[in-house]
A and B are shown apart, each in its own frame.
Chain A
Amino acid sequence: MYTEPINNLNLKLEAWTNVITTSKYNPFYYHGALPQFYLWVLYLSGLLLFAYYIPTIDNAYSSEKLINAWTSVNYITNTIPFGAVFRGIHRYAGDAMVVTILLHMLRVWITDRYRQYRIVQWLSGVVLLVMVLFIGQTGYYLVWDERSLILTRMTCSALDAIPLVGTGLKTWFLNGTELTNYTLANFLFIHIGLSFALLFGLWIHYVRMTRPVLTPPPVINYILMAAILLVVAWFPIESGKMADLTSQPNTFEVDWFFLFPYAMLTSMQPGIFWLTMLAGVVLLCVVPYFVRTKEVEPAEVVLKNCTGCSLCAKDCPYQAIEMVPAPAESRFKLLATVKPYRCSGCGVCVGACAFDAIDLPNMPDADVTAQIKALLQS
C-alpha cells in the first residue's frame, strides 16, 4: 500500500498518544465519533436559532420596526440570553465538523481502511462530505447580510451556466424566478431538510458496521465542546451589513471551510468551476480502486457443523453473517450464512465459533491447530 510509510509515522504518533491518553481515551480511535458529536451539537444549537429565525428578505418597515432575516439574526445575537453564544456554537461547530470529517477521511485513507468491503462506507462518506459542505453554505445565505446576497447572486450565475438543467436549478434555488421572501424560506428548508437527510446518509454509512464507534468516553466530548466555546469566546461573530437588493456589494469574507467554492468562482469561469468540482468528487469516489490487492476470501460455513448458535453473527464486525432458518432435515433451528460481499475475511467469526463450523477458506482452523501442534513438536 502506497500510504504505508505515512501510516507507520501515523502509528508511531498514535502509540505516543497512547502513552499519554491510554488507548481508551485516544482521540485517534474515535475519529468517526468526532464529526458525529459535532452533528449533535449543530442540531441542538440550530434548534434554538430556528425558534427565533424569520426567513424573509423584506426591506420595508412594517410599522416602526423592520423585520426580516437579518434583524431576526440580530435579535438572536443581541437580545436572546446567550443567543450570541448559541450562534457562535452553531457557526464554529459547523467548521469543526468539516475539520473532523477531513481528519476522519485522512485517517481511514492513511490506515488503508477505505477499500473493498468498506466501499459502501467510503462512497457514502463522500456523499456525506458534499452534503455537509453544501449545508454549511446554505447557512451563510440565511444570515442575509451583504455576503449572503453576494453568495446568492454568485450561485445563481453559476447555476445558470450549467447547460440544460441550469435554469431549472436556478428556479429551484430561488424558489421562483427572482429573489423574494420565498427564496429565503427555500434556503431555510434546504438547510434544515438536508441536515436531517444527513441522518439517512449516516445510516447508510453505518449499516455495514456492527457497533459503530459513536460514543467516546465523555471527556472527549467535553474537550470537543470546550474547544468550540473557546473559539466562540475568542472570535465572536459579527454580521455584516444588512443585504440590500438594490446594492451591488462585491467583496466578502471567506470562511475557508465552507465558502472555498465561492473563492474559486471569483477567479474561474463557471464551466471550469463545475468541472473542477465534479472531477474532485469523482476522484474521491475512485480512490479506493487505485489499489489492486488480492480479493478477500469470505468466510465459509461448514454446514454440517453449524449449530445455529448465532455467536458468529453477533460478533461479526461487518454485519456479514445472517442467521437463516435451517434446512428441514437439520437438528437445529438456524443456520449461519455469510454475505460474501460484506465479509472482510477477518476471521472474527472463526474465533467466535466453538464448533469449528466456520472457516476462512485459505486458513481452515483445523490447519491452524495442526500447524500449532507441528511447530511445537519440532
Chain B
Amino acid sequence: MSLVCERSCDLNAQLDSQGRLTAVPEVQVVKFPCSGMIQPLMVEAAFKAGATGVIITGCQLGDCYYREGNRMIRERLLGGRPPGLKKTVDRRRVIGLWLSRPQASRFISEAKEFLAVVTELGPVAPEPAKPTPAPKPAPQPKSEAKSEPENNKAPAGEAKSSKATAPADPGPEPAAQPKSETKDEPKTESKPEAKEEGKPES
C-alpha cells in the first residue's frame, strides 16, 4: 500500500486502472493532494485492512509544493509532532520516500526493494529488541530515501545500521502487530538510509 502525494513523483503514467503500480502490481496507490494530509490513523487503517507495508511519498524534504506538508507527516510518523502513530505499528513496515516529480523510476525501484523487505518480514518470529544506543534522542521509526543511490542497505529489514534502532521510546512493549506478524522489536528501521538526516529541526 502506498500513500502518495500527487505533487511529488508523478506516477500517473505508472498506474493501471485499479490504481496498482504496473511495474509492481502488489503496490496499491492512493493519491493525496499533499503528503501532509495523510493521517497516522490512515496508516493504521491500512495495516488493519491487511497491508503488509506502507510507503508514504511526498516531495523532497524542504520542497513541499504547498508548505511543510512532507515535514509534517514525517514528524508525525517519527513521533515528534502530534498526532503520532500507534506504538504497536511495526516501524519497519513504514517508509517515507521524498521524491520530486520526475523521479517515478526511483519510486518503482524503492517500492520493489521495500516489497522485498516486507515480504521477507512476513509472519516471522519475534526478534529481540536491539538496544543499540541511539545517537538520536528521540524515536526514529522511519527514515527516508532521498535521491541518493542507496542500494547497499537494501536487505535492511533488520535494522543493522547505525542510526536505525532508537528504542528511546518509553517501553519496548511487545508490539502486537495488527496483522499476522508480531514483533517485539519496538522501533526498528525499515530502511536505514545512508543519507538519513538528523531529527527534523523545528
In A108-152, the 8 Å CB interface with B consists of 111-113
The verdict on B36 contacting chain A, using a C-beta distance below 8 Å, is yes
Q: Which of B18, B37, B69, B147 contacts A317 (CB 8 A)?
A: B69
CB neighbours of B67 from chain A (8 A): 209-210, 317-318, 344, 346
Question: How many angstroms from the CA of A16 to the CA of B148 in the assembled complex?
Answer: 9
In B22-53, the 8 Å CB interface with A consists of 28, 30, 32-34, 36-42, 45-46, 49-51
A80-88, A168-176, A327-335, A352-360: which one contacts chain B? Answer: A352-360
Known contacts A15-B60, A351-B36, A372-B30; A346/B66 CB under 8 A: yes
Q: Which of A315, A360, A378 contacts B18 (CB 8 A)?
A: A378
Contact with B along A339-352 (1 / 0, CB 8 A): 00000111110111
CB neighbours of A22 from chain B (8 A): 146, 195, 197
Question: How many angstroms from the CA of A317 to the CA of B195 in the assembled complex?
Answer: 26
Q: Which of B19, B28, B39 contacts A350 (CB 8 A)?
A: B39
CB neighbours of A345 from chain B (8 A): 33
Q: Is the CB of B72 within 8 A of A315?
A: yes
Q: Is the CB of B69 within 8 A of A346?
A: yes
CB neighbours of B198 from chain A (8 A): 24
Classify the interface of chain B: helix, strand, loop or mixed. Answer: loop
The verdict on B1 contacting chain A, using a C-beta distance below 8 Å, is yes
A197-205, A243-251, A363-371: which one contacts chain B? Answer: A363-371
Question: How many angstroms from the CA of A295 to the CA of B31 in the assembled complex?
Answer: 19
Q: Is the CB of A211 within 8 A of B41?
A: no
- B127 shortest CB reach to chain A, Å: 26
A-B contact count (CB 8 A): 146
Known contacts A19-B148, A23-B60, A348-B34; A372/B66 CB under 8 A: no
- B72 shortest CB reach to chain A, Å: 5
Known contacts A11-B100, A373-B45; A348/B39 CB under 8 A: no
CB neighbours of A155 from chain B (8 A): none
Q: Which of A11, A12, A112, A375 contacts B19 (CB 8 A)?
A: A375
Question: How many angstroms from the CA of A315 to the CA of B37 in the assembled complex?
Answer: 11
Q: Is the CB of B60 within 8 A of A350?
A: no
CB neighbours of B76 from chain A (8 A): 351
Contact with A along B70-100 (1 / 0, CB 8 A): 0011001000011100000000000000101
CB neighbours of A111 from chain B (8 A): 65
Known contacts A348-B68, A376-B51; A29/B63 CB under 8 A: yes
Classify the interface of chain A: helix, strand, loop or mixed. Answer: helix
- A320 shortest CB reach to chain B, Å: 11
Known contacts A23-B98, A348-B34, A376-B28; A365/B18 CB under 8 A: no
The verdict on A377 contacting chain B, using a C-beta distance below 8 Å, is yes
Q: Is the CB of A12 within 8 A of B102?
A: yes
CB neighbours of A211 from chain B (8 A): 68
Q: Is the CB of B100 within 8 A of A14?
A: yes
CB neighbours of B64 from chain A (8 A): 317
Question: How many angstroms from the CA of A70 to the CA of B18 in the assembled complex?
Answer: 75
Q: Is the CB of A346 within 8 A of B33?
A: yes
Q: Is the CB of B72 within 8 A of A14?
A: no
The verdict on B101 contacting chain A, using a C-beta distance below 8 Å, is yes
The verdict on A181 contacting chain B, using a C-beta distance below 8 Å, is no
Q: Is the CB of B69 within 8 A of A377?
A: no
Contact with A along B93-125 (1 / 0, CB 8 A): 000001011110000000000000000000000
With most chain B CB atoms within 10 A of its CB, the pick from A373, A376, A377 is: A376
The verdict on A18 contacting chain B, using a C-beta distance below 8 Å, is yes
Q: Is the CB of B63 within 8 A of A23?
A: yes
CB neighbours of A26 from chain B (8 A): 62
Q: Which of A11, A23, A352, A373 contacts B102 (CB 8 A)?
A: A11
The verdict on A311 contacting chain B, using a C-beta distance below 8 Å, is yes
Q: Is the CB of A14 within 8 A of B49?
A: no
The verdict on B176 contacting chain A, using a C-beta distance below 8 Å, is no
Q: Which of A18, A210, A378 contacts B146 (CB 8 A)?
A: A18
The verdict on A239 contacting chain B, using a C-beta distance below 8 Å, is no
The verdict on B134 contacting chain A, using a C-beta distance below 8 Å, is no
- Add 8 more A-B contacts to A24-B197, A372-B3 (CB < 8 A): A11-B101, A22-B146, A317-B69, A318-B67, A347-B37, A351-B69, A363-B32, A365-B39
Residue pairs across A and B with Cβ atoms less than 8 A apart, 28 shown, are A8-B101, A11-B100, A15-B60, A15-B147, A16-B147, A18-B148, A23-B63, A210-B67, A317-B64, A318-B66, A318-B67, A346-B33, A348-B34, A348-B37, A351-B39, A351-B40, A351-B72, A352-B83, A353-B83, A360-B33, A363-B37, A365-B39, A365-B42, A371-B30, A372-B49, A375-B1, A375-B28, A378-B18
Name B residues whose Cβ lies closer than 8 Å to a Cβ of A: 1, 3, 18-19, 28, 30, 32-34, 36-42, 45-46, 49-51, 60-69, 72-73, 76, 81-83, 98, 100-103, 146-148, 195, 197-198
Name A residues whose Cβ lies closer than 8 Å to a Cβ of B: 7-8, 11-12, 14-16, 18-19, 22-24, 26, 28-29, 111-113, 209-211, 311, 315, 317-318, 344-348, 350-354, 356, 360, 363, 365, 368-369, 371-373, 375-378
